Amino acid sequence: FALQGPKWSRTDLTWSMVNRSMPDASKVERMVQTALDVWANHSKLTFREVYSDQADIQILFARRAHGDGYKFDGPGQVLAHAFYPGEGRGGDAHFDADETWNFDGESDDSHGTNFLNVALHELGHSLGLAHSAIPDAVMFPWYQNNEVAGNLPDDDRYGIQQLYGTKEKTWGPYKPQTTTTTTTTTTMRAMIYRADKPAYWPWNNPSNNPNNDRNRARERQEEERRRQEKERRRQEEERRHQEEERRRQVEERQRQEEERWRQEQERQEEENRRRKIEHKSQWERNPSKERNRPRERQEMERRRQEQERQEQERQEQEDRRRERERDRQLEWERRNRNGAREPVTPTANTTPRPTNKPYPTVHRQHHHHNKPRKPKPDSCMTYYDAISIIRGELFIFRGPYLWRIGTSGLYNGYPTEIRRHWSALPENLTKVDAVYENKQRQIVFFIGREYYVFNSVMLAPGFPKPLASLGLPPTLTHIDASFVWGHNNRTYMTSGTLYWRIDDYTGQVELDYPRDMSIWSGVGYNIDAAFQYLDGKTYFFKNLGYWEFNDDRMKVAHARAKLSARRWMQCARSANEVDDEQR
């Protein structure tokens, strides 16, 4: 067996399936759980399924290029791949969705590739095992449809146990008292299963082997646990429905109450109107008498105002009711559209106030007029957002500032604002992601999802353009670095774990890209910047350090990053700082 560098620092790992809506999702989940159980049964590892994109191991079905630089090739050949333990995509297992998979665990290959076997292999990578040259091992790279049956070949078992240790025997309530009993148990276990014995060894026969009974019992327990979990979820769902129904009834009752109140009000109103008419007719019959009764007039006025107030209140209540009704309707429509069944948060009984405030402006120039300026970074203690040779001089970019370094060193007055040179860049510019000078001697800036092309300091017509116009994925949020590689004079762009090459004639990303950044050996992922210096060499930057790249060996010239400030900003060495060479 072979181990691949990193392993998980914990033994309680979580996993999650990404394509939970695929037709055979439940079968896949069951198979993955079975495969993980095989690894768990022979080590200290435990696995728990979670519904989260933060799980240690993500199971994904994907076709062709799926964003990790390792594209699938359609039916046949490459079936799946997985990443060794680590942060981010570390531990994830990807399966080619174009394969004909057999999710029923049948050993007959005519029904498709046995998913369980492939999952078992890939999850071995997820746990830190590399390929083994032993043909019977699970970690043998070529697909073989071996019977899994809960056991691991010795090669894989030694491998996983070297990484995570052997499983400690968990005793029930009747733990044996003496070592004698333990010895006996050990002997019994040795008798029960012998991997080195042929299939006719009585204890290796599945029908004789008590281990298999135990496995079956464990499977039954597991099945029971899943059933209970499912039942619990169903009850939870039921409870939510009841809660929803109850809430709906309460609201209905309130609505009826309001309706009754409204009818009562209308009745009173009608009554008042009738009295008023009656009173008027009396007044018309005997006006002098009426004129002499100012108190009654006041009383009438008061009543009228009261009626108006009540009418207004009634109108407001009616409006609120309609508002609630509309919200309920919208919520109901939303839930039906999404098919979601989450409980609905009751809508607040407030009517939105009218406002004269305009919509947020889309002109970004107006956003940050009063925003305080960022302080200038310390030249000798900063990382670089971008670095490039422009017109034969070195430009280093950090935040909204740049340094300019010519043949006689750092220019006076720098760092200065980037926009003092390229005023067509956004007024609220906080940083540039990458910069390079192209073959037409235009200066190209990458800022977020857009790029700007300048003829000297004038923005070229039609820019900025979206990154997608270069053939980059529309989901790409930014570029880490862009540079022309001295080895072949081609233009490269990097972002996260991937990089692309641009065809200078078409101005588009070339076929076969993206590829994984690991080809630039020693540089790692998520770099800050890169550029080709006047010496023709390529330099990669991350945090406060940089690497020189050896094009012939395709790896960094020095494993340990050197301090950028010393070389590029010509900062003095601190008192107790020693050169790598001197060290």
Pick the piece of the chain touching other proteins (CB under 8 A) from 203-211, 367-375, 396-404, 515-523.
Answer: 515-523
DSSP string spanning 255-289?
HHHHHHHHHHHHHHHHHHHHHHHHHHHHHHH-HHH
> Of the two residues 214 and 553, which places its CB atom closer to other proteins in the complex?
553
CA angle 353, 356, 361 (to 5 degrees): 120
Give whole-number Cα distances, 473 to 94, 246, 438, 476, 478, in Å. 20, 48, 21, 5, 11
Residue 195 makes contact with other proteins by CB under 8 A: no
Among 498, 527, 524, 523, residue whose Cα is nearest residue 513: 498
Q: Which residue has the tokens 């994925």?
A: 473
Residue 297 main-chain phi, psi, to 5 deg:
-60, -45
Sign of CA dihedral 558, 561, 566, 567: positive
Q: Give me the least distance between CB of 155 and other proteins, in Å please.
A: 13
Residue 562 makes contact with other proteins by CB under 8 A: no
Among 102, 23, 96, residue whose Cα is nearest residue 63: 96
Query: Strands 538-542 and 46-49, how do they pair?
Result: unpaired
Type of residue found at 537: K
Q: Are 56 and 9 in contact (CB under 8 A)?
A: no
Q: Give me the least distance between CB of 92 and other proteins, in Å please.
A: 10
Q: Give me the least distance between CB of 26 and other proteins, in Å please.
A: 25
Residue 377 makes contact with other proteins by CB under 8 A: no
DSSP string spanning 165-177?
-PPPPPP-SS---
Candidate list 27, 421, 487, 537; residue touching other proteins; CB under 8 A: 487
Active-site position among 122, 219, 313, 427: 122
Q: Which residue has the tokens 């079968």?
A: 27
Candidate list 15, 72, 483, 539; residue touching other proteins; CB under 8 A: 72
Among residue numbers 129 through 188, which ones bind other proteins (CB under 8 A)? Answer: 130-131, 133, 135, 141-143
Candidate list 79, 116, 530, 565; residue touching other proteins; CB under 8 A: 79
Candidate list 525, 531, 539, 546; residue touching other proteins; CB under 8 A: 525
Q: Give me the least distance between CB of 403 and other proteins, in Å please.
A: 29
Residue 30 makes contact with other proteins by CB under 8 A: no
Pick the piece of the chain touching other proteins (CB under 8 A) from 267-275, 364-372, 429-437, 517-525.
Answer: 517-525
The Cα 429–Cα 414 span in angstroms is 18
> Of the two residues 129 and 435, which places its CB atom closer to other proteins in the complex?
129
Residue 583 makes contact with other proteins by CB under 8 A: yes
The Cα 427–Cα 366 span in angstroms is 8
492 is written with which tokens? 């490269």
Q: Judged by CB under 8 A, how many residues of this single chain contact other proteins?
A: 53
Candidate list 17, 61, 103, 121; residue touching other proteins; CB under 8 A: 121
Q: Is 147 a catalytic residue?
A: no
The site for other proteins (CB under 8 A) is made up of 2, 4-6, 70, 72, 76-90, 113, 118, 121-122, 125, 130-131, 133, 135, 141-143, 487-488, 497, 512, 515-516, 518-519, 521-525, 551, 554-556, 559-560, 583
Catalytic site residues?
Answer: 122
